[in-house]
Structure 1
Amino acid sequence: MNKVIITTDSTCDLSDELLEKYSIKVIPLYVMFGEESYLDRVNITTEKLYELVEEKGILPKTATQPSEVYYEFFKQFIDEGYSVVHVSISAKLSGSYQQSYLASQRFEEGQVHVVDSMSLSSGVGLVAMKASQFAKMGLSAEEVAEKAREIAPRVQTAFVIDTMEYLYKGGRCSGIANFIGTLLKIKPIIHMKDGAMEVGEKPLGRKKAYELLLNKIYRDKDNLDPEFVMVTHSLNFETAEYLKAELRKNLEIENLYETVAGCTISSHCGKGTIGILYITKE
């Protein structure tokens, strides 16, 4: 049997329990407040992130690991006899893909495969969990990576943003500046398209926004891959319970997981953000 291990970065927003269940290893990215730097999931939590925002009055910035750190991260698994399939946050959103790819080139051909998830948050996690399932089936690293790349464009991502300040100042989402000064009740829905974030609908109020979020997955009901559906949020527990109840009532889902967005994603989307992420069959 092929020894294949799945790795990803801390933007995957999978809980520790899910990482353990699917045998996925994580490399943390950096979260920075001025001169102070933290490692996502290691020495800073999402709760602590927002405490620091209040305390310091500034928004955090994020940074990837350099290729040398990725190299050492991969090497520990190569030394144990594994081939690595690394699932990265979208190459259009972060330098993480480039740095991990550069590191992969230092190994013998076929030892490390880097997959661009074309997604963020638990969209990255979905691709990683699928890759884990393929690895458990005994596929080679090359076959796992190929299948993961086939799945990546089918990941559906939609988040309701509760506050626009983080996205606007982060500059990673096209179109957000067009209505930043308009009605504060607008709760934009952010989608991923071709690996980049873009503003979708601009509903007034949370109730309408959550309704649109649910309607998106309902429209895909017949095309839904039922194995995994994610409800991921930045400390919006009450709405997560509501969305999960609605999804269970209206859809046949094998594994419906709730996860909390880590510091990397929360740094760019802000408190209260919540999304539904899933994979379509085609």
Structure 2
Amino acid sequence: MNVKILADSACDLSESYYNEYNIEMVPLTVHLDEKEYADGIEIQPKTVYEAMRNGKGPKTSQVTPQAFKTIFTSYAESNQAIIYLAFSSELSGTYQTAKMMEQEVKETYPNAPIHVIDTKCASIGYGLVVLNAAKKAKNGATIEDIINSAAYDSTHMEHIFTVDDLEYIYRGGRVSKTAAFVGSLLKIKPILHVDNGKLVPLEKIRGSKRLFHRMLEIMEERGTDFTNQTIGISHGDDLERAEQLAAMIKEKFGVEDILIEMVGAVIGAHAGPGTIALFFLDKPAD
């Protein structure tokens, strides 16, 4: 029996990938103008970015326990093997909720082949982990092989990103108000990364011209074998700069396979318009 892959909307994959690889997407929720929207279904990222540019502050919330219980129960009843690869537990409570509901469903269906994995990843870094797992599932790989492969990809996935305005990160509680103000005043562009699932500041670069060159230097320092993997880039409604970064990567490393997607509404609500994020495996699996 083939394994079904589940992911949540924070993986920022477009619908075509869900369809091609038979991935079920579980949406997080975006709150805007006192209304609730299912991320990626009822609201698109551009709407959120436009609202933020107009001074609005969208909020987000995790997947509800009931949603997970309903989904897991339906698969348990048909004895369908599923692997839910979750958005980083350090950035959302969605993984913890899913684990709770997994245990609850297994009280009724003790042998249900339900597996919940914390990827410790976000955006297209998370999306690449999901995509690799879904390709293996489509090719008939076993649960154990898919879980081991996803665990490897999760551990080795680098997230190197920058935000256009520190104010958005400040609102999310990631930097102090003073740091956000001074950074904006001096035109300082932060480079951040994800360390064990958490957002961590890495460096500050003054001026945007140097920014992409430094991101590529970090990529070279941390990564290897780029031509044998898919490189991910996600952007906060700034395709032009994402394509500029992609062109620089192709020229420097000879890479052909680059996946570019917009940062979804949930992560975008915290990172803001103009975000540019780069994802790669520091050491691809053999």
TM-score w.r.t. structure 1 length?
0.91
* Structure 1: unaligned runs, 5 residues or longer: none
Following superposition, the deviation at residue 126 of structure 1 comes to 1.3
Residue of structure 1 in register with 2:181 after alignment: 181
User: Structure 1 residues 218, 37: closer, same or farther in 2, change over 3 A?
Assistant: same
1:102 counterpart letter in structure 2:
M
The offset of 1:114, in angstroms, is: 0.9
Is the partner of 1:201 in helix, strand or coil?
strand
CA contact (8 A) 2:4 2:22 kept: yes
Question: What secondary structure, in the 3-state scheme, does the structure 2 residue paired with 1:240 have?
Answer: helix
| Conserved? CA contact 2:79–2:112, under 8 Å | no
SS in 1 for 2:229: strand
Distance 2:236 2:29 in 1: 18
Query: Residues 54, 257 of structure 1: CA spacing in aligned structure 2 closer, same or farther, 3 A cutoff?
Result: closer
Distance 2:225 2:244 in 1: 23
Match of 1:268 in 2: 270
Which residue is equivalent to 2:47? 48
Tell me, which stretches of 5 or more residues in structure 2 are unaligned?
none
Asked if the contact 2:162–2:277 (Cα under 8 Å) also holds between the matched residues in 1, the reply is yes
RMSD: 2.1
In structure 1, the partner of 2:208 is 206
1:181-220 deviations in Å (ceiling 9; x for gaps): 2142111111000110011111012221111112222334
CA contact (8 A) 2:49 2:236 kept: no
Describe how 1:1-282 pairs up with structure 2 within 5 A. Answer: 2-33=1-32, 35-53=34-52, 57-79=55-77, 81-105=79-103, 106-107=105-106, 108-109=110-111, 111-171=113-173, 173=174, 175=175, 179-184=179-184, 185-224=187-226, 226-253=228-255, 255-281=257-283
More deviation, 101-110/198-207: 101-110
Q: Is the 8 A contact 1:88 1:97 kept in 2?
A: yes
| Separation in 2, partners of 1:121, 1:245 | 21
Percent of residue pairs identical:
28
Letter in 2 for 1:88: A
- Three-state SS of the structure 2 residue aligned to 1:187 is strand
The letter for the 2-side match of 1:202 is K
User: What SS class does the counterpart of residue 205 from structure 2 fall into?
Assistant: coil
Q: Does structure 1 retain, via aligned residues, the 8 Å contact 2:8–2:86? A: yes
Shift of 1:159: 0.9
Q: Counterpart amino acid of 1:23?
A: N
Q: What is the DSSP-based 3-state SS (H/G/I as helix, E as strand, rest coil) of the residue aligned with 2:122?
A: coil
The 8 Å contact of residues 188 and 203 in structure 1, kept in 2 or not, is answered as yes
Does the Cα contact within 8 Å between 1:213 and 1:275 map onto a contact in 2? no
Instruction: Render the CA deviation track for 1:203-259: whole Å, top value 9, x for unaligned.
Output: 012221111112222334535473211110011111111111111222243521110
The aligned length equals 278
